[in-house]
Amino acid sequence: MTILKRTLIVLVFAFSILSGSAFAYERVVVLYAAASPVLKELGVSDKVVGVTRTDHTFRGVTSVGSHLRPNMELLRALRPDLIVAGSKRAFPEEMSNRLNARVFYFDPRTLEEILQRIKSLGEILGAQQQAQALIDRLKEKLSEVRPLEDKPTVIYETSARPLKVAGSRSIITSIIEHAGGVNLIKVKKKHVLISPEKVVSLAPQFYIYQVGPMNKNPLAPEKRPYFGSLKSHVVKVDEYEFARPGINAFQAVIDLNRIFREVLK
């Protein structure tokens, strides 16, 4: 075999690998709603054939149930070759084996990890340029953060009944830190059970509580008898805007930084 032939074979093989990795996935099911805006920004909406019932990012696609209990019969009927899930706990790998589909786990805990996941999704979906453009825009957005003289202390309520707050492994902590604050809860979990007495004793400057699926119609903290001695600035936020680890997290940083500056000026 001549050198020229060998070179041609290598080039053809390399091209087939690159083109295959870029365009291998044509039928995508999204089982984690936080990832859907990313896919839309990447320009691959036409590849999405299924989403969870609370995900309204794409029109005309099949609802496959919840992210924790997807309908396996519907999933099989959709014949996905890529499933974007939130975590291995929510969608174990053995479930994907039953569908003969690859699983991409979108479960970032920091803003930096969100950017990494965007890059990876762009690579496997052949949308590297769109992914890089999105990454650049999100990084640029963080330039809107204004420095604070001191770092305000924060406790973020994820659920009022039972009382749970965001731990150090939650995207919330990354949002708080990028906004210039400090999460007083150092437990290495996403959500941490806590007593009202502990919250009061920690005396956070800001007590932020979310409203959404995890915290439906909570009584305002200042109206709760057990928080009678809480001296914090109480802030109400939308769970969808703050607690989902996706594109929204970057705007949440800007909003929280603005709240800090307005209250502490």
Q: pTM (2 decimals)? A: 0.88
Q: DSSP secondary-structure letter at 26? A: -
The pLDDT of residue 97 is 76
Whether the per-residue pLDDT at 27 is higher than 90: the answer is: yes
| Residue 2's pLDDT band (cuts 50, 70, 90) | low
For domain 147-264, give its CATH number from 3.40.640.10, 3.30.70.120, 3.40.50.1980, 3.20.20.70: 3.40.50.1980
The pLDDT of residue 68 is 78
* Spatial distance between the Cα atoms of 113 and 131, rounded to a whole number of angstroms: 14
Query: 121: closest CA among 68, 66, 83, 156?
Result: 83
> Stretch 22-42: mean pLDDT, rounded?
90
DSSP assignment string, 35-79: GHHHHHHTT-GGGEEEE-TT--SSSS-EE-B-SSSB-HHHHHHH-
DSSP assignment string, 29-41: EE--GGGHHHHHH
Residue whose entry in the numeric block shows the structure tokens 């070759």:
81
Are the folds of 3-141 and 147-264 the same?
Answer: yes
The pLDDT of residue 147 is 95
Tell me if the bond preceding 162 is cis, omega within 30° of 0: yes
The pLDDT of residue 197 is 97
Chain centroid to CA 160: how far? 22
Helix (H) or strand (E) holding 152: none
The pLDDT of residue 206 is 98
The pLDDT of residue 80 is 94
124 three-state secondary structure: helix
* Interval 212-221: pLDDT, tens: 999 999 999 9
Chain centroid to CA 2: how far? 52
* Interval 62-92: pLDDT, tens: 999 888 788 899 999 999 999 999 988 888 8
The mean predicted confidence, pLDDT, of the chain is 90
- The answer to whether the CB of 32 falls within 8 A of the CB of 55 is no
Whether the per-residue pLDDT at 16 is higher than 50: the answer is: no
Instruction: Provide the residue ranges of all domains of the chain, joining segments of one domain with +.
Output: 3-141, 147-264
Strands 28-30 and 233-238: unpaired
* Interval 130-160: pLDDT, tens: 999 999 999 999 999 999 999 999 999 999 9
* Spatial distance between the Cα atoms of 217 and 249, rounded to a whole number of angstroms: 22
- Kindly state the tokens that stand for 230: 């809480």
Residue whose entry in the numeric block shows the structure tokens 């979990």:
189
- The answer to whether the CB of 85 falls within 8 A of the CB of 103 is yes
The fold for domain 3-141 equals Rossmann fold (3.40.50)
Question: How much of the chain, in percent, has pLDDT values that exceed 70?
Answer: 91
Residue whose entry in the numeric block shows the structure tokens 């009022």:
160
Give me Rg for the CA atoms of the chain.
22
- Kindly state the tokens that stand for 217: 């119609």
